[in-house]
Amino acid sequence: MKAFQDYYPDELSHCFGCGRNNPHGHQLKSYWEGDRTVARFLPESHHTAIPGFVYGGLIASLIDCHGTGSAAAAMYRAEGRAMDSEPPLRCVTAAIHVDYLAPTRMGVELELRGEIGELSPRKAIISVEVFALDTLCARGRVVAVKMPEAMLPH
Amino acid sequence: MKAFQDYYPDELSHCFGCGRNNPHGHQLKSYWEGDRTVARFLPESHHTAIPGFVYGGLIASLIDCHGTGSAAAAMYRAEGRAMDSEPPLRCVTAAIHVDYLAPTRMGVELELRGEIGELSPRKAIISVEVFALDTLCARGRVVAVKMPEAMLPH
């Protein structure tokens, strides 16, 4: 099964959070599970905050990329077309909010669960919960907008 | 002049965003400039979103670490003691919000300007603006709380 991010055009796949062409990045992968979107990520040892705990900035990054990926997937779905159909559609983040609910211990795979909220042809609001096993560690909200033409590579 | 983060104890200096002991991290440095706090950071080429533009997740990370650093500095100042006095004081992020106001071009040093908002012995709210030259690229808000004892290394 291909991830949302696997459908991004090559020239738009350098994102530090989710670009498959960025060897220094997190390479997050997001998928549909029914009407919800899911991504899983095992933080590396250097993604630390206080020793033993995951860096909140990493969690924000994962929420960001899972949010924009989910937004794009939801827009494709709303348009009734496959993610490999033309023209390609990508979203960027207009705003992000994250509440950190519990310290996130290292060494556990994180699961991000996205819910599609408000959805229009150019904008989507995605709610994301981040779990470490059964612990809800963070709750985020991403306002994603369709990528402006000016940001396309020339 | 020592940065706020240079006063963090060694065992609390592994943060991916601002730990001087994390060779893989961003090693952000924050300083007082009057009643405002400032940090400067030049994104690296792999900190990209769409080619040519800085990754929003990096900007959120910088706001996060500049926010918690500013919060700790403000708490020391409010207690009337130097940042190298005992006991050490560190803050963690309870919540972060970032509005992305303009695409941030690569190749320009970013300047983060922090303003101390609400401040109590255990909590601070820091507003952070991110500039690339004269362009206000993002505006953030960090709710920082004094680090719980349970997160201290043992």
Beta-bridge partners for A141: A97, A127
Q: How far is A154 from chain B (nearest CA, A)?
A: 10
pLDDT score for A64: 97
Give a yes or no: residue A4 inside a domain: no
pLDDT tens for chain A, 154 residues long, are: 899 999 998 888 999 999 999 999 999 999 999 999 999 999 999 999 888 999 999 999 999 999 999 999 999 999 999 999 988 889 999 999 999 999 999 999 999 999 999 999 999 999 999 999 999 999 999 999 998 777 766 5
**What is the DSSP secondary-structure string of B15-74?**
-TTT-TT-TTS----EEEETTEEEEEE---TTSBSSTTBB-HHHHHHHHHHHHHHHHHHH
Check CB contact under 8 Å for B92 and A98: no
pLDDT score for B115: 98
CB-CB neighbors (< 8 A) of B50 in chain A: 12, 14-15, 90, 92, 147, 151-153
Q: Which among B10, B14, B68, B141 is the top mutation candidate for probing chain A, defined by the most A β-carbons within 10 Å of its own β-carbon?
A: B14
With H, G, I as helix, E, B as strand and everything else as coil, classify residue B84: coil
CB-CB neighbors (< 8 A) of B52 in chain A: 151, 153
Q: Does ipTM exceed 0.90?
A: yes
Give a yes or no: residue A40 inside a domain: yes
Q: Is the dihedral of CA B93, B28, A107, A25 positive or negative?
A: positive
CA separation for the pair B102, B130 (Å, rounded): 10
Check CB contact under 8 Å for B96 and A51: no
Beta strand pairing status for A135-146 and A123-132? antiparallel
The list of chain B residues with pLDDT below 70 reads 152-154
CA separation for the pair A140, A104 (Å, rounded): 15
| C-alpha dihedral (B85, B89, B90, B91), degrees to nearest 10 | -140
Split into its structural domains, chain B has a count of 1
Q: What is the CATH number of the domain that holds B134?
A: 3.10.129.10
pLDDT score for A88: 87
Check CB contact under 8 Å for A151 and B14: no
Chain B within 8 Å of A19 (Cβ-Cβ)? Answer: yes
Q: How far is A113 from chain B (nearest CA, A)?
A: 18
B:70-109 residues touching chain A, CB 8 A cutoff: 90, 92-100, 103
Q: Which among B11, B45, B50 is the top mutation candidate for probing chain A, defined by the most A β-carbons within 10 Å of its own β-carbon?
A: B50
Give a yes or no: residue A119 inside a domain: yes
- pLDDT for B76-93, tens place per residue? 999 999 999 988 889 999
Residue A97 structural domain? 14-149
Chain B within 8 Å of A28 (Cβ-Cβ)? Answer: no
Check CB contact under 8 Å for B51 and A100: no
CB contact at 8 A, B91 and B145: yes
CB-CB neighbors (< 8 A) of A61 in chain B: 55, 57-58, 60-61
Chain B within 8 Å of A32 (Cβ-Cβ)? Answer: no
CB-CB neighbors (< 8 A) of A60 in chain B: 57, 60-61, 64, 96
What angle do the packed helices B56-78 and A56-78 form, to 10 degrees? 140
pLDDT score for A86: 87
Q: How far is B81 from chain A (nearest CA, A)?
A: 23
